[in-house]
Amino acid sequence: MPRTPTRAAAVLLWILSLARCQEQHVSCELSADCVLPCSFRSSDEEVIHWRKRDTTVHSFYYGSDQLQLQDKRYSGRTSLFRDLISRGNASLLLQRAEIQDQGRYSCYVSTTLGNSETSVSMQIMALIQSVDMEKTDSGISCVVRGAYPEPSFNWSTDPPTAPGSLSDRTQAAEDKQGLYSATSTVTPPEDLSGHTFICSASTADGTSWTASLRQQEDLHGAVDRALVIPCPIPESSHPSSNTSWTFERDGNLSLILWRDVSMEQPKIMPLWDRRARGLSEDGSLQLQNPEGPELTGTYTCRISATHTLHVVRTKVTIAGASSDTGSFTVIHAIIVIVVALLVTGIVILVLAWQKGWLPRSGPPPKGNSAQTQMLHGVASKEGGETGGGEMEEVKTLSS
């Protein structure tokens, strides 16, 4: 009879020693349901207390939940797996996990066999909600929203550059919910202008997002001439993706159109209804009749799929009609060249006539072709010089 308590005490010590050295770690997704594990040697008359420091999270005894002392923050969010208690499972289900729920929890269980205490360290994770990449005055920025804990960044280029040639600065801020918005910026050296910049943002749980940005070669279009602006991205990224095109001019940004997976046709914004014909299979933007040089600016496509984003920027110049000073210079130059050519032609003819090898003075003597060629050479040289003189005259006239 006196031996039973001794054995019970021994078992208790064993359980305690076991419990002390094991602290479990769990990661829970923000706003999701989360299970804090706890097990014990099943027996009768269970008393279960879940606590976080000195606050009561959940209690159970006399065969039912006892929530009189429960901290208000946990109200309506906790439960035990009632059917499993008799089998030694005292795990706690915590619903709609919050960032403030993070920390060390203790699970105290007492039964007819004695008591035990284990602890669980809980960490919240929030998967990155979105990643964007943009070009700013200070460089190229990778922007991550809605992550917890703070994400880390990793930059590379395509084609690759030596490690360390890109150094980034990261700024993070917490929103009302406690989630991080982080921006990592690199200032690429001039000689990397043709490269694609790749930013990879990862959170502690190991998931990462990859975004790339590329500035492709400038395009030139003309008023009222259809123009296709390509969005070259890796083949594999096309299906199941969200595509959008934006236009930027003097710091003003305007959404042209967008299409997500569920849509057959892109949604074109009212302002662009008559300018954009639509999207090609490969994501190219079709402009049907740029109405003027005010459509000169940067066109950016964004193609995003799960955990990836590709951004391609294109500077487009739309050459305008009459009133535009740029095209006036071009027309002016063409007139000058045409007039100069005409004058040169006339001068050659006059010279040739003077030297007397035109048909007027009868057929040229035989075997004289070499001499003729020489004369012709001289004539065109003189003609060229005279032409140049004439060109200056024309310029003076027109200015």
Ligand X SMILES: *[C@@H]1O[C@H](CO)[C@@H](O)[C@H](O)[C@H]1NC(C)=O
Asked if 252 interacts with ligand X (CB under 6 A), we say yes
Tokens of 158: 């395509």
Could you tell me if 291 and 225 are in contact, meaning their C-beta atoms sit under 8 angstroms apart? no
Integer CA distances (angstroms), 376 to 97, 204, 359, 386, in order: 94, 82, 15, 15
Span 46-85, contacts to ligand X by CB under 6 A: 81, 84
**From candidates 20, 220, 225, 249, binder to ligand X by CB under 6 A:** 249
Segment contacting ligand X (CB under 6 A): 109-117, 242-250, 320-328, 339-347? 242-250
- The CB-of-334 to ligand X minimum distance in angstroms stands at 31
User: By CB under 6 A, which span of 172-180, 246-254, 276-284, 359-367 interacts with ligand X?
Assistant: 246-254
Distances (CA, A) of 145 to 74, 109, 124, 131, 213: 27, 41, 16, 6, 18
Burial (CB count <10 Å: 0-12, 13-18, 19+), residue 262: exposed
CB-wise, 32 or 84, nearer to ligand X?
84
Specify the stretch interacting with ligand X by CB under 6 A; choose among 31-39, 72-80, 117-125, 310-318. Answer: 31-39
First to last CA, the chain: 124
Residue 202's CB is within 10 A of a number of other CB atoms, namely 17
Contact letters for ligand X, residues 260-279 (x by CB under 6 A): x-------------------
Instruction: Pick out residues in 219-238 that bind ligand X (CB under 6 A).
Output: none
The pair of three-digit structure tokens given for residue 118, joined into one six-digit string: 């284990």
Q: CB of 69 within 8 A of CB of 57? A: no
Per-residue x/- track, 119-158, ligand X (CB under 6 A): -----------------------------------x----
Instruction: Give CA–CA dist 394/255, Å, rounded.
Output: 48
Q: How far is the CB of 211 from ligand X (least distance, A)?
A: 12
Please count the residues of this chain forming the interface with ligand X, following the rule CB under 6 A.
17
Q: Which is nearer to ligand X, 300 or 386 (CB)?
A: 300
Q: Nearest 5 degrees, angle CA 392-CA 397-CA 399?
A: 95
Assess whether the previous peptide bond of 270 is cis (omega < 30° from 0).
Answer: no
Residue 358 is given by DSSP the state S
Among candidate residues 389, 376, 373, the one with its CA nearest the CA of residue 349:
376
Q: Which amino acid is at 109?
A: V
User: For 341, how many CA atoms within 13 A lie in the half-sphere containing its CB?
Assistant: 6
User: Which of 70, 102, 244, 386 is the binder for ligand X (CB under 6 A)?
Assistant: 244
Smallest distance from ligand X to CB 207, Å: 11
Binding mask 153-192 for ligand X (x = CB under 6 A): -x--------------------------------------
| Binds ligand X (CB under 6 A): choice among 11, 161, 223, 258 | 258
Contact between 45 and 115 under an 8 Å Cβ cutoff? The reply is: no
Binding range to ligand X, per CB under 6 A, among 112-120, 229-237, 249-257, 272-280: 249-257
Residue 46 CB, nearest distance to ligand X (Å)?
14
| Contacts with ligand X, residue ranges (CB under 6 A) | 35, 37, 39, 81, 84, 89, 91, 154, 200, 208, 242, 244, 249-250, 252, 258, 260
